[in-house]
């Protein structure tokens, strides 16, 4: 997913199947895929759970009706390459494969356990619109509220 491969942009979304915040974004992810795929934007949902099986990833994708390719990053190669720390965390790469945005999808969550009734900031959508219009992204980084991605040192037993 990090290679532009003729796309106008690529969105890499990090997720954990048991993260309720990440799962709450499934409808918006599907709306983004529907709105931007025809504009040459590629989407990838990347599961970062080291123990997730292919069957579990397929079940999660079916349960949430995800409409983009789902990858399993059990070795955290993509996590390291992009610097992902939480889920859901979005990375937008331009046509040259450069990261031009990293952060939240939108402001659905004001804080942990504090879900807004109405989304007022559409950060990823705004970044996509800017890139497709050939303009710089006005806010290239936003704070992500979500589940922490555990590194190998954090998962080892003492």
Residue 120 tokens, joined: 């007022």
Query: Which whole number is the average pLDDT over 25-37?
Result: 97
User: Residue 39 pLDDT > 70, yes or no?
Assistant: yes
CB 107 within 8 A of CB 147: no
CA 85, 145, 23, 37 torsion: positive or negative?
negative
Show the CA angle centred on residue 8, arms to residues 10 and 28, nearest 5°: 45
Per-residue pLDDT reduced to its tens digit, 42-66? 999 999 998 999 999 999 999 999 9
Per-residue pLDDT reduced to its tens digit, 79-117? 999 999 999 999 999 999 999 999 999 999 999 889 999
Classified as helix, coil or strand, 99 is: strand
CB 109 within 8 A of CB 21: yes
**Entry pTM:** 0.92
Determine the straight-line distance between the first and last CA of the chain, rounded to whole angstroms. Answer: 35
Average pLDDT, the chain: 93
């Amino acid at each position: 997913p990090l290679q532009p491969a003729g796309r106008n942009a690529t969105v890499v979304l990090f997720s954990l199947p048991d993260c309720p915040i990440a799962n709450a974004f499934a409808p918006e992810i599907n709306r983004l895929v529907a709105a931007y795929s025809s504009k040459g934007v590629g989407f990838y949902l990347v599961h970062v759970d080291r123990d997730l099986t292919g069957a579990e990833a397929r079940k999660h994708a079916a349960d949430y009706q995800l409409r983009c390719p789902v990858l399993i990053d059990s070795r955290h190669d993509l996590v390291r390459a992009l610097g992902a720390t939480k889920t859901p965390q979005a990375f937008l790469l331009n046509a040259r494969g450069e990261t031009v945005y990293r952060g939240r999808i939108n402001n659905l969550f004001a804080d942990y356990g504090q879900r807004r009734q109405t989304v007022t900031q559409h950060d990823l959508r705004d970044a996509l619109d800017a890139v497709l219009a050939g303009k710089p992204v006005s806010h290239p980084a936003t704070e992500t509220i979500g589940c922490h991605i555990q590194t190998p040192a954090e998962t080892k037993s003492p």
